[in-house]
Structure 1
Amino acid sequence: MSKYLVSLALYFLVITFGLAQEEENNTQASDSITTSLKKEGITVVDTLKVKKRAINPLAPSKAAFYSAVFPGLGQIYNKRYWKVPIVYAIIGGGIYGYIYNDDLYDRFRTAFKRRQAGFTDDEFYDLGTPNAPGADPDFSEAALESAQERYQEDRDLWLLVTIGMYALNIVDANVDSHLKQFNVDDDLSMDFKPYLDMDAITAKPVYGMALTIKF
């Protein structure tokens, strides 16, 4: 389960880095094409029209705060409703694993203490026929001690997993809110126009192309 938590964390980091790298590569490629065309004597007219979006710099912080107060609330704030059941499933699973192992730890620990005190009436002494006279214990003292230690370790592991899933829920809300503000509209159009003019000084034709993208 701890490997699963690390994989999820790396998944978000890879996505974030990949989107940032893709944006940087696209910008560098665009600048490189513009420079090459200018060297060939082609004038590049920038007619890119962008529908500006209102960016809320506090949105990521709000999303993270909401998810910290109540898991899944930040995802609702980001309108990523499909993530809410996933958040509840992973955090709820962690809580269930903790409670389950804690209950078994308490039961084995109680039986171990009573066995050390000389009692033979614990639930693990004779599972097949309880209170049968002369029956050998199904769980020895060593087995009871080993079981309580194992369930204690599992309980502590599930506690760490639950805390990790809770933290990941906050990180996801924050990162998703950052990326959400860079999304473009579905209404995307592109127009290509050739460009031709005369240079007033050199009297030479100046030609090029214009690419108009509206979104």
Structure 2
Amino acid sequence: MNKIVPISLLFFLLGTVSLFAQAETETVLVAKDTTKLEEIDPLTPAKAAFYSAILPGLGQAYNKKYWKIPLVYGAMGTSLYFYLDSNKKYKEVRNEYKRRLEGLESDEKFERFDDDRLISAQKFYQRNRDLSALFLVAFYALNIIDANVDAHLIQFNVNEKLSLRPEIYPTDVTFRANVGLTFNYKF
């Protein structure tokens, strides 16, 4: 019985000490977010696309991506050049073939070609002309799409509170390294 009293006294003292320890008040510090969020204008992508539709490259200038303007004009200018060149050559070959069908003298440039070669040259230049026109329209559409998407991405929220980092941790059973991705968002 002598041993029971000191042990119960010890538990009583430990209980009162922990009781007094819980009575303290906690202070919580709250950090205020100092980063300002820019307002999102939902019409900005539509404006950029409209400007690029009116004048190719103007949407890129609106987005302040000036380095893309020479690429737009280079791609569209090259396509336009090949369209005009193939169209000119197609008309020359077609006119020569028509002259031969009418029985007129052939041009010096086409004297060595027979009728089959003139027909195949017409098909060749016509196909190149049509492909160049298709590329011209595709680059025009790509110009508009690029301005629109770039205007959307300018407004995309990228700050240091959003993070994606790889993490390597050992497995509990085999202690081999596992690779995983952690997505952290801090409020």
- Identify unmatched segments of 5+ residues in structure 1: 1-44, 127-137, 190-210
Deviation readout 1:20-70 (Å, 9 max, x if unpaired): xxxxxxxxxxxxxxxxxxxxxxxxx88655321021110000000000000
1:104 aligns with 2:89: yes
- Asked whether the equivalents of residues 71 and 88 of structure 1 are also in contact (C-alpha less than 8 Å), the reply is yes
1:173 counterpart residue number: 147
Q: How do residues 134-149 of structure 1 correspond to structure 2 at under 5 angstroms? A: 138-149=112-123
- Asked whether the equivalents of residues 47 and 212 of structure 1 are also in contact (C-alpha less than 8 Å), the reply is no
d(CA) in 2 for partners of 1:179, 1:105 = 44
Question: Aligned match of 1:113 in 89, 95, 98?
Answer: 98
1:57/1:125 Cα in 2 relative to 1: closer, same or farther (>3 Å)?
closer
2:46 counterpart residue number: 61
- Asked whether the equivalents of residues 115 and 122 of structure 1 are also in contact (C-alpha less than 8 Å), the reply is no
- Matched residues, number: 136
- Asked which structure has the greater CA Rg, the reply is 2
- The offset of 1:123, in angstroms, is 3.8
1:52/1:120 Cα in 2 relative to 1: closer, same or farther (>3 Å)?
same
Query: Which SS does the other structure have where 2:36 is aligned?
Result: coil
Higher RCO by CA contacts (8 Å cutoff, separation 6 or greater): 1
TM-score by length of 1: 0.58
1:82 aligns with 2:67: yes
- Asked whether the equivalents of residues 111 and 124 of structure 1 are also in contact (C-alpha less than 8 Å), the reply is no
1:123/1:107 Cα in 2 relative to 1: closer, same or farther (>3 Å)?
farther
TM-score by length of 2: 0.66
Question: Aligned match of 2:78 in 93, 97, 103?
Answer: 93
